[in-house]
Amino acid sequence: MDNNVDKDILIRAQAGDLEAFEYILSFYEKRIYNYCLRILKNSHNAKDATQETFIKVYAHRKLIDPEKNIKTWIFTIATNTTYDLLRSKKRKNEVSLDAEFETISDSSSYYEKEGLTSDIDKALEQINPEYKKALLLFYQQGFQYEEIADILEMPINTVKTHIKRGKEQLKDKLKNYSA
């Protein structure tokens, strides 16, 4: 058990004593914030993760075991919360990526009028959208297969297949522009 948070405070917090919980919060808040900040590298997100961590700690306060180290328990919650936030951000990036594709599609006529569209951009617009996502994440954004699998929420072998098939479709479409 952490020397600075005694058994009596843990028992009182477990029973719902707000003063005891506030003591725990004040004791660990800065440590949890700094930990989240190192992982997330963004103060706003770190504040959100810290707040969410302590909401979870309070919601699950009945699980506090006064005989065990509360610090480990709180940091486990903080770790899970932080990585949930990172996964959430990746999913939001996928949505933004889709929105970006739609914007690019909508603006492609403008670029064509201005002569700004490359043959590759034209060919990309013609391939399967699932393959296009995988290709852009791999080649344009520099993600590894594992990261793309996380972002697109699909097995890694499916990602590899999408990239392979996307390259084949792209190569086939580019034949039309090489003349």
Distances (CA, A) of 38 to 9, 35, 91, 108: 29, 5, 21, 40
- The confidence score (pLDDT) of residue 4 equals 56
Structure tokens at 39: 């992982």
CA–chain centroid gap for 126, Å, is: 29
pLDDT computed for residue 59 by the predictor: 93
Burial class (CB in 10 A: 0-12, 13-18, 19+), 162: buried
pLDDT at 60: 92
Secondary-structure class of domain 89-177 per CATH: mainly alpha
89-177 and 7-87 share a CATH fold? no
Return the pLDDT at 92: 67
Instruction: Please return the burial class of 74, using the count of CB atoms within 10 Å of its CB with bins 0-12, 13-18 and 19+.
Output: buried
Among the four given CATH numbers 1.10.1740.10, 1.10.645.10, 3.40.50.300, 1.10.1660.10, the one describing domain 7-87 = 1.10.1740.10
Q: Which of 105, 123, 137 is nearest to 163 (CA)?
A: 137
Residue pointed to by tokens 């393959």: 131
Report the pLDDT value the prediction gives residue 19, as an integer from 0 to 100. Answer: 93
How do the domains of the chain map onto residue ranges? 7-87, 89-177
Of residues 147, 134, 1, 133, the one with CA closest to residue 65: 1
Does the pTM exceed 0.85?
no
Walking along the chain (179 residues) 10 residues at a time, the average pLDDT comes out as 69 90 92 80 90 94 83 80 81 49 41 55 79 78 77 86 94 78
Is-contact 123 177, C-beta < 8 A? yes
CA-based radius of gyration for the chain? 24
Q: Is the dihedral of CA 89, 93, 99, 104 positive or negative?
A: positive
Q: Give the number of C-alpha atoms closer than 13 A to the C-alpha of residue 97, restricted to the C-beta side.
A: 20
According to the model, what pLDDT value does residue 115 have?
Answer: 47
CB contact set of 19 (below 8 Å; sequence gap of 6+): 12
